[in-house]
Amino acid sequence: MNSGPVEPLDQLFAVLADPTRRTLLQQLVHGGPTTATRLAEHYPVSRQAVVKHLQALAEADLVVAERAGREMYYRATPERLADAVVWLLDTSAQWDRRLERLRQRALRH
């Protein structure tokens, strides 16, 4: 197993692999900034578990925490998803080219 530095895109996909994190991110994107307490109301897990998921999202630059008085509000920063979109589009284009070459080769034989 590679114990070297984690690439940002690897970290992004690892964080997004968790369905709870994806749902939390989606809630923040569509519902706007809110607290972990309010988010936890929708899950069968503790507020602390939600905070841990939010911290993982923050480490991947998908969420930012902002203090307002005694409350900590979490806000989505989905711009980071652009890196994943670029990678997916590039990978898709590479496969399209490979499949087209294979199709052309098959038509010649």
Whole-number pLDDT of residue 6:
55
Whole-number pLDDT of residue 28:
96
What would the pLDDT profile of 38-59 be if each residue is shown by its tens digit? 999 988 889 999 999 999 999 9
Whole-number pLDDT of residue 32:
95
Task: List the 71-76 sheet strands across, edge first.
Answer: 34-35, 71-76, 63-68
Q: Which of the residues in the chain have pLDDT under 70?
A: 1-6
Could you give phi then psi for residue 101, rounded to 5 degrees?
-65, -40
Domain residue limits, the chain: 8-78
Domain 8-78 fold? Arc Repressor Mutant, subunit A (1.10.10)
